Chains A and B, each alone.
Chain A
Amino acid sequence: MVPISYYLVLSAILFALGVLGFLIKRNIITIFMSIELMLNAVNLSFVAFAAYWHALSGQVFVFFVMVVAAAEAAVGLAIIIAVFRTRQTLNPDRVNLLKL
C-alpha cells in the first residue's frame, strides 16, 4: 500500500522539472518536450485520484489529455518546421518577430 500523497509528490516533482525545462532550455523542440512532461505529470495525479476515489472518470480525463497532447504535438511540430524553414534557427530567443 502506498499513500496517495507519494504519487502527488512524484507528480509535483515531474511537473516542476517540466517547468524548469520550459524556462531554461534554449531549443524550441526541448521546450515542447518539457510541456509534454508537464502533461504527463498531471496525468499521473489524475490516475492517482481515480484510484483513490474508485472513479473511472479520472482515467477518461487522462484520455482526453492524451488526445489534446497528440493534437498539440502535431500542430506544434508543424509550426516548428514552418519557423525553421524561414529562420533557419531553433533558438526561441531569435524568433522575436511575428512576421515571417
Chain B
Amino acid sequence: MLHLALFLIFGVIAVAGAINLVAQTHPINSALSLVVVMAALAAEYLLLGAEFLAAIQVIVYAGAIMVLFVFTIMLLNAGAEEHTRGSKVALIIGVPGLIIGSITVAWALIHAHIGAEVPVGSLYGSAQGIGHLLFRDFLLPFEITSVLILIAIMGAVVLARRES
C-alpha cells in the first residue's frame, strides 16, 4: 500500500515535470523540469530495488548531463523560443497517428496479462552485483564503451573548437 502510494506520488511528479518541460518556452525552465523528472525517476528506481542505479541516475543524469545542458543554454544566451506556425502535415497525420498509437498501447497493456507484481523491499541491485556482471559477462561491451567515450570527447572538442 505504501509502495503504491510512493509510486503514484513520484509518478505524478515525473509526469508533471515532463508536461512542464513541453509547456515552457524558455529552455532553462525546461532544463530544470527535466531535473525534476530525473530525480523522480531515481525514486522510482529505488522503489524497484535498483539502489545503485538510483544513485547513478542522480549523479550522472541530474548532475553531469543537466549541468552540461544548463551550461550550453547560458553559453549561447538562449532566449524564449520563437513562435512559428505548426505544419498541416502534423495535424493531418500526427493527431490520428497519436490516437491510434495510444489506443494500441493501452489495448496491448490491458490484454497482456502481465498481472504479476514487482517485489518490494529487496534491494538486489547492489553495486557489487552489478559490478560482477559488468566486469565478467559484459566485459567486451564495457571496453567498447570506453572507446565510444573517447571518440565522443574528441568529437566534442573538434566540433566546438573555434575556427581559426
Binding site for B on A (CB under 8 A): 1-10, 12-14, 16-18, 20-21, 23-27, 29-30, 32-34, 36-37, 40, 43-44, 47-48, 50-52, 54, 56-57, 59-60, 62-64, 66-75, 77-82, 84-85, 90-91, 93
Contact = CB atoms under 8 A, between A and B. Distances in A.
Contacts, number: 215
A37 B116 CA distance: 27
Contacts of B124: 54, 56
A9 B129 contact: no
Contacts of A50: 48, 50, 125
B92 interface: no
B18 A17 contact: yes
Name B's interface SS: helix
A30 B31 CA distance: 8
A70 B146 CA distance: 12
B118 A10 contact: no
Contact of A2 (B4, B27, B75): B4
A78 B21 contact: no
Given A59-B125, A71-B148, A34 B21 contact: yes
Given A56-B130, A74-B153, A64 B118 contact: no
The 7 closest A-B pairs by CB, nearest first: A71-B152, A78-B159, A1-B117, A27-B81, A78-B156, A78-B160, A17-B18
B35 to A, nearest CB: 10
B82 A26 contact: yes
Nearest to A16: B102
Contact of A70 (B60, B116, B125): B60
Contacts of A3: 114-118
B15 A14 contact: yes
B84 to A, nearest CB: 6
B61 A40 contact: yes
B69 A71 contact: no
Contacts of B27: 27, 29-30, 33
Contacts of A47: 44-45, 48, 50, 53
A59 to B, nearest CB: 5
Contacts of B159: 75, 78-79, 81-82
